[in-house]
Structure 1
């Protein structure tokens, strides 16, 4: 009898967690609704904003667990007067879907974004990639060079890492089934409890803005699907890097990169300076006292790098 009661309590507790996750998702989506338009590419419904004038096109690709709001927070408006700026939610992030069974590795995401560029009839746009979006941008340039006119990378992942950064170790769940169970049970309350510490780590040494949850899209991370896909992205992030690093010297497009020397998430020496050694023509800008979230914390410096690469296209 005791085991029956214990099982009932476990089921009720799990049901309560699922209810809480679903309720949180509804509240998050009411607070941060879609702001752009949708297009279906490779069976995946992609959410994006398309703003600015008739100038050269820029396509912006955000990082792990992020969304297009990371760019609209402060960066897009600094460029929209002179460029057509398109920021998209990567497959499985923000309000973009990911098809069941679709791969999460950088090459697969780059292939979808290449077809997104084709669908919008863009003529070799300047591609801006932040963090994980950086390695996806590099995969795009290496595998689909006809779709890329230049690269401006912001604190990008460029080389393999031996271990995930401490704040993200909880996302490393190899089993898809277990990943989905955790996404709908313990992930959301644990994410809420750890949110302040994670934001401090991701932004350090810069302070995390108080309005990042809404204006920067941070609240969108409090959804089961976002947790599941972010975990998938983390586990697949390095899959293509061994092959890609050997091909970096073949990059021939104008190429710039900006990094904060104080970045606690990715080391500018292992990611930025290592890339400079492989591609000597790289314009590498290093900022003292700055961290990882440069599109939000250093938008003027980031916009200046993007403009410098655009001028060389």
Structure 2
């Protein structure tokens, strides 16, 4: 057999493999979207259609999820618990879940904070308590620094706050700078690799705690397998550190109270750096609480987070005095 036939057959083999990977990824995408359809409403903002849930009545709370996630991370008991006496709005950040974001829309925390303010203004919310988990914590801090008049306070859950620290192994695969490489990977290897490496990834993201039953559907985890989720997670990861230097230099200028909750065994963000060191930057404004557990507190410990939010809310204007009874129960 001539070398040309060998090359031709190899090319056909590669093409066939690529077609199989794309078809497999398409099937994963379709199954994920069928299992986790939109559960809320849509509005139009500058980044495109934004998906959110709006439950309950009372003082408003806005919840911002973290990297590679969506609003389902708050919907494993936490939203309904707080909605008993609050109006709770949890959003899919632009580009994640069922929210849109074009390639030309900036992804850095400061830009995403401005997009959250668009939601606050569109819904006519009166200075909500802003809750941010992980990357959502950095976005919430940018919101408080750039738009202090839009919030009465922050409640941060394992927030990204400081420069430095090691990148957790599960996020190495998101360090893809080329737009076209992200696109190709998203339709070939990303989803399949995520499924094969799920146990390893969850060990870091959830550990030392277990992944709660129902997380894939009720917690929205399956949506992370879609190609668009991978592409936008890469963009979020690459942009996540752009504002940290400015943020860290501005913490002494915070004009609203900030409460932060960290788990001591967090394997994604170091509690000493992003919690203890962060709190030292402005002791008058920042209050830190520590508990046992891992990074995914809204999913693994919704009751503890509820107590923390009620304590944080009691320290901000607009929350009823009855919430103060929960003070001191987290720490």
Instruction: Report the TM-score when normalising by structure 2.
Output: 0.92
Matched position secondary structure for 2:84: coil
The answer to whether structure 1 residue 29 and structure 2 residue 33 are counterparts is: yes
Q: CA deviation at 1:312?
A: 2.1
Matched position secondary structure for 2:100: coil
User: How do 1:107-126 and structure 2 match up within 5 A?
Assistant: 107-126=110-129
Please provide the CA RMSD for this pair: 1.1
- Which residue is equivalent to 2:24? 20
User: How do 1:61-100 and structure 2 match up within 5 A?
Assistant: 61-100=64-103
- Which residue is equivalent to 2:156? 153
C-alpha contact 1:161 1:238 (8 A) present in aligned 2 = no
Q: For residues 113 and 4 of structure 1, what CA distance do their matches in structure 2 show?
A: 52
C-alpha contact 2:160 2:274 (8 A) present in aligned 1 = yes
The answer to whether structure 1 residue 283 and structure 2 residue 270 are counterparts is: no
- 1:50 aligned residue (45, 54, 57): 54
The answer to whether structure 1 residue 4 and structure 2 residue 5 are counterparts is: no
- Runs of 5+ consecutive residues of structure 2 not aligned to the other structure: 317-331
Matched position secondary structure for 1:111: helix
Number of residue equivalences: 311
CA deviation vs aligned residue, 1:101-145 (integer Å, no higher than 9, x gap): 111110111111111111111111100000010001001111122
- Which residue is equivalent to 2:104? 101
Q: CA deviation at 1:52?
A: 0.7
C-alpha contact 1:76 1:85 (8 A) present in aligned 2 = yes
- Which residue is equivalent to 1:165? 168
- Which residue is equivalent to 2:327? none
Q: For residues 163 and 174 of structure 1, what CA distance do their matches in structure 2 show?
A: 19
Q: For residues 255 and 243 of structure 1, what CA distance do their matches in structure 2 show?
A: 18
CA deviation vs aligned residue, 1:40-69 (integer Å, no higher than 9, x gap): 10041111000011x110000000011100
Q: For residues 213 and 306 of structure 2, what CA distance do their matches in structure 1 show?
A: 22
Moved more, 179-188 or 296-305: 296-305
C-alpha contact 1:155 1:292 (8 A) present in aligned 2 = yes
- Which residue is equivalent to 1:136? 139
Q: CA deviation at 1:200?
A: 2.1
- Which residue is equivalent to 1:236? 239
Matched position secondary structure for 2:197: helix
Q: CA deviation at 1:162?
A: 4.7
C-alpha contact 1:132 1:157 (8 A) present in aligned 2 = yes
Q: For residues 244 and 84 of structure 1, what CA distance do their matches in structure 2 show?
A: 29
Q: CA deviation at 1:93?
A: 0.6
Q: For residues 309 and 159 of structure 1, what CA distance do their matches in structure 2 show?
A: 21
CA deviation vs aligned residue, 1:174-210 (integer Å, no higher than 9, x gap): 1111111101111111011011221122111111113
- Which residue is equivalent to 1:205? 208
Q: CA deviation at 1:149?
A: 1.4
Q: Structure 1 residues 291, 188: CA separation in 2 closer, same or farther (over 3 Å shift)?
A: same
The answer to whether structure 1 residue 217 and structure 2 residue 220 are counterparts is: yes
Q: For residues 102 and 190 of structure 1, what CA distance do their matches in structure 2 show?
A: 27
Give the ranges of 4+ consecutive aligned residues of structure 1 lying more than 4 Å apart after TM superposition.
Answer: none
Q: CA deviation at 1:77?
A: 1.5
- Which residue is equivalent to 1:269? 272
